[in-house]
Amino acid sequence: MTPDQRRRIETATGAAIISSTPLHGGSIAAVYRLDLANGASFVAKSSARPAGFEVEGYMLDYLRAASSLPLPEVLLAEDDLLLMQYIEAGDALDPQAETHAADLLATLHAVQGPAFGHERDTLIGPLPQPNPWTESWRDFFRDHRLLAMGRVAHDTGHLPADAFRALETLCGRLDRIVPADSTPSLIHGDMWGGNVLCRRGRIAGFIDPAIYHADAEIELAFATLFGTFGDIFFRRYADHRPIDPAFFRERRDLYNLYPLLVHTALFGGSYANSAARTIQRFL
């Protein structure tokens, strides 16, 4: 963290920083817990160059205004610096917390938009998410998720040309699997375990959103990709919002192609192989 960033934090909080502790999650940006002279604690994400933190702050503020999710309050959101409320957490995602998560996400997914997309483009991690308002879910998922992120992954050199061509072929055949019409629900957008903070059997907070309005199934799919939630979550969620059995049979793995392409663009390696296998499965 630079001296200028420290100065901006102390100006925003009105107190001096007395300690700074690195936190996990710093693979893309440096993340710190800051303890201040007035007894308050905050989390700061900082970068030596513009890193899109203004967008992350916007997404957190949007979710706070539009939903009842527990989220950190944002004090400062600039391109190179994000300052947020520190949330006491660190407990395991136990059955009680999974049940609470299902209640919260079902309520979030009941928040509807005018179409698929969002009022502005957002980010998933450091990568762009184009969000033009689109009437058809199938068209939005094809053009602004699979093809858009597939191009990013290909341009990084992590997704081979033959896999990208296969992706283009798959995108011409989505009418077999993906409905054109569904409800545009507000989603968190990056539902893996590291973004779910737990405390004593409750969800203390959600962090690092990648919001837009989508078929809520894509959020449910992402929650299975890295084993974030299991049967307890899905049973409780279904009490609020029925889940089509076809989601588990086929659409879950297709929707998870998007986060696989995100990870391919960022990291390559085994993620590119997993993305290529998923593409071939649905051809």
- What distance in Å separates the CA atoms of residue 258 and residue 221, rounded to the nearest whole number? 10
Q: Which candidate in 80, 190, 208, 253 is catalytic?
A: 190
- What distance in Å separates the CA atoms of residue 56 and residue 125, rounded to the nearest whole number? 9
- What distance in Å separates the CA atoms of residue 228 and residue 99, rounded to the nearest whole number? 13
- What distance in Å separates the CA atoms of residue 23 and residue 269, rounded to the nearest whole number? 26
Asked about 190 being catalytic, the answer comes back as yes
**CB crowding 202-236: b at 16 or more within 10 Å, else e:** bbbbbbbbbbbbbbbbbbbbbbbbeebbeebbbeb
- Using a 10 angstrom Cβ sphere, with 0-12 exposed, 13-18 middle and 19 or more buried, the burial of residue 155 is exposed
Pairing of β 185-187 and β 127-129: unpaired
Q: Report the catalytic residues.
A: 190
